[in-house]
Chain A
Amino acid sequence: MTPDLKVRIGALELPNPVLLASGTCGYGLEMMPHGNIAGLGAVVVKGLSLLPSKGNPPPRIVETPSGMLNSIGLENIGLEAFLADKLPKLRHLGARVIVNFYGGCRDDYRELAARLDGVEGIHALEMNISCPNVERGGVLIGQEPEEVHKAVAAVRGATRLPLLVKLTPNVTDIRLTARAAAEAGADGLTLINTLQGMAVDVETRRPSLARIVGGLSGPAIRPVAVRMVWQVRQAIALPIIGCGGIWTARDALEFLIAGATAVQLGTVNFTHPDRWIDVLAGIEAYLDRHKFEHVTDLIGSLES
């Protein structure tokens, strides 16, 4: 019997729990040569801002042990260009689209959410709160539970779409920001965003990145991500989308067992653009082998 892979995050129903993470798959269309993205649970597109953003100066990336640092600076084509040029093609493909977005202030978030609300072809929103609040001297919204609550509440009031909040791991206790997002009306939590890191070119004694500090992603951060998924799962009754260094089906299963309802593949897309197909097949084979009829029976099934 073929296992049932359907999962639900609030009102968002997905045919399977494998998603592509924002910032690692362009606007989804770029992945088409490597497999039909309509077969994914969903594709989470590059984080949008109201206006196009040109991003940070180079160098923006550096390779690290089983990982990479990036400081792309949220470069994107902006809301209008996405709606006009990308979304119609995504709709035509039949892909489930989750729009990741970010703002410099609460009004930006509210306006973005309002303008994305009810747009045909958008299945859910994912709020990136790992960015500086320009109104408060650049403090990261995602690092303060109170700020998280205010930002999520503002967006919640502006959209009826299922709302995911992507949490930063760069906090003392992620359960506090997770709880703030939940109480402000999030339907699900994506964790984790990148961990802050830094690398130095010892020959030039310069930082490897122009912006000095960047976000670490890839398999190096996976144990941190799995731990945070498990912790939040214990504390908060909201669906979690696990993300962080998934390279194989086995990695994805770790997240599901630890309590994630779905997973996002990110950095792996750079090296293996068709890996999501193998991960999906691997999850299905595992469920079959372990006699799970529904993937939901596996979620949070950690024995301890």
Chain B
Amino acid sequence: MLLKIRAARRLTEDFQLLEVDWPAGLPEPLPGQFVMVRTREGTDPLWRRPLGVHDFRRVRGAGVLSLLFQIVGPTTHDLAGLAPGAPLDLLGPHGRGFKIDAAEIWLVSGGRGVAPLFYVARLLRRTGVPCRAFLGGRSAGHILRERDLVRFGCRVEVATDDGSRGRRGLVTEPLEHALSRLSARRRAAVMLLACGPHGMLKAVAGIVAVHGVAAQVSVDPLMACGRGLCLGCTVAAPGGYRLACQHGPVFNVRDLDWDAR
């Protein structure tokens, strides 16, 4: 279906934010769900691209969907060139999102992994659930929405590979430090929500196993259809495979096999 771009904003050199008018007849997207978009006629690129729901809010009653993406390939280049009023071919929302049912939520992101976590932070502000955010990225230009997360009441810690923002190093380092300072009782109350590159998610899986903390991860394998038709977006799970588009993209960290390639 064709939706209309409402606003477009370059956040940093490589990252763009789009706001899209959300039609009244569509189900309201849930945090952690995704949409499938395309920008060109013809067959190159062939597939739609999955983008996580970055934010959803109501402006005078009308739904507004936000998409945050890194400009990396033909589709995201096209998307970055869309101006307000332009149509966007979009299907969704698809997939299963985050279950936000803990007394305290910690968000852990690597680079564009912040995209689906931001909507969680907005909802947490509404419900008053305490929130911490650990943002990691290559450099300062890959740390996104930091101020808005603070505005939502999140306590934010930042780590970059080159030290150009926050501490130098991996985002899992401040995370592990913070976890190690928790009492057993606090630890039982915390739920981690993580999204980022596979290596980061795997590290998070190891850390939560050590510290006995619950966690959900949002995964991002290559996806052709987004709706369970192609069976292409499998992730390894104990005893078999799970489809990121249907069973995920959000999984309980324990439901995936982190030792598989």
Contacts and interface: CB of A to CB of B under 8 A. Distances in A.
A218 B44 CA distance: 11
B261 A72 contact: no
A60 B229 contact: no
B75 to A, nearest CB: 11
Interface string B35-58: 000100001111110000000000
Contacts of B48: 270-271
Interface string A45-68: 000000000110111111111111
Given A24-B230, A30-B228, A210 B47 contact: no
A269 B46 contact: no
Nearest to B230: A270
B199 interface: no
B2 interface: no
A218 B46 CA distance: 8
Contact of B44 (A58, A66, A75, A267): A66
Contact of B232 (A54, A65, A70): A70
A66 B224 contact: no
B231 A72 contact: yes
Contact of A65 (B44, B227, B229, B230): B44
Contacts of A68: 46-47, 224
Interface in A46-104: 54-55, 57-68, 70, 72, 75
B66 to A, nearest CB: 24
B230 A30 contact: no
Interface residues of A, number: 32
Given A70-B230, A270-B230, A58 B221 contact: yes
A271 B235 CA distance: 21
Chain B: interface secondary structure? loop
A240 to B, nearest CB: 24
Contacts of B47: 63, 68, 270-271
B25 interface: no
B241 A269 contact: no
B207 to A, nearest CB: 24
Instruction: Give the bracket for the number of chain B residues in contact with chain A.
Output: 20 to 34
B50 to A, nearest CB: 12
A25 interface: yes
B230 A54 contact: no
A219 B41 CA distance: 13
B261 A67 contact: no
Interface string B225-253: 10111111111100011000000000000
A17 interface: no
A26 B234 contact: no
B43 A218 contact: yes
B222 interface: yes
B91 interface: yes
A247 interface: yes
A75 B230 CA distance: 10
Interface in A1-38: 23-26, 30-31
27 contacts: A23-B230, A23-B231, A25-B229, A30-B228, A31-B229, A54-B240, A54-B241, A55-B231, A57-B236, A57-B260, A58-B221, A59-B221, A60-B234, A61-B232, A63-B45, A63-B224, A65-B44, A68-B46, A68-B47, A70-B232, A72-B230, A75-B241, A247-B43, A269-B229, A270-B224, A270-B225, A271-B225
Given A25-B229, A63-B222, 18 more contacts: A24-B229, A30-B227, A30-B228, A54-B240, A54-B241, A57-B261, A58-B233, A58-B234, A60-B231, A61-B222, A61-B233, A62-B222, A66-B44, A270-B47, A270-B224, A271-B47, A273-B91, A273-B225
What 4 A-B pairs are tightest by C-beta distance, nearest first? A61-B232, A270-B225, A66-B43, A58-B234
Interface of B: 38, 43-48, 91, 221-222, 224-225, 227-236, 240-241, 260-261
